Copies of this chain bind each other. A is one copy, B any other.
Amino acid sequence: MYYPEPITKLIDSFTKLPGIGPKTAARLAFFVLEMKEDDVLDFAKSLVNAKRELTHCTVCGHITDQDPCSICSDQSRDNSVICVVQDPKDVIAMEKMKDFQGKYHVLHGTISPMEGIGPEDINVSTLIERLKDEKVEELILATNPNVEGEATAMYISRLVKPSGLRLTRIAHGLPVGGDLEYADEVTLSKALEGRRDL
């Protein structure tokens, strides 16, 4: 027994978080001991509240503390465009950009046969329901540009194509501020393939 019991437990709790090993966990635990009691109580409360009060929006699947979420219930947004993303964090990233005024649909994952995740394990069926009910004109597939993301986009596009909806995929190419010299071959090839007239 190196540490008193309460701190061992706290270190164990921190170790469960991603990217935090035993050394960092010990550092964080000792920091908590030096924090004001009120701040520690706030921290504990915010943990429990976040877990308890947040659910997934029954319409789009985004995390929310009200149902439907603030984006789905926002009447000023464009109902005719739905942007399909993998993850609630991707909605945040899109919202930070401030350019997109449509709605979202969060898949909570991608099709990944290697990990045994099939189409039925992600939030696709509610998307299909939405497309039937809502007046959607365009579906933007904004899954990540990797194998699983592409496969998922392909799967959804095949599923939706027959309905005659406009289907788009976000562009792949050089990131702004990037350098041609250091771009990998696949990105460069995608950038060339997706070139546009000036």
Contact = CB atoms under 8 A, between A and B. Distances in A.
Interface of A: 1-7, 9-10, 12-13, 16-19, 24, 26-33, 35, 37, 39-54, 63-66, 69-70, 88-89, 92, 95-96
Number of copies: 2
B12 A32 contact: no
A65 B5 contact: yes
Contacts of A26: 89, 92
B2 A63 contact: no
Given A28-B18, A95-B2, A33 B46 contact: no
A42 B46 CA distance: 13
Decide if the interface of chain A is mainly helix, strand, loop or mixed. Answer: helix
B27 A18 contact: yes
B17 A53 contact: no
B40 A47 contact: yes
A28 B66 CA distance: 22
Contacts of A95: 2
A42 B14 CA distance: 11
A50 B6 contact: yes
A42 B24 CA distance: 19
Given A26-B89, A92-B2, A51 B47 contact: no
Contact of A17 (B12, B31, B46, B69): B31
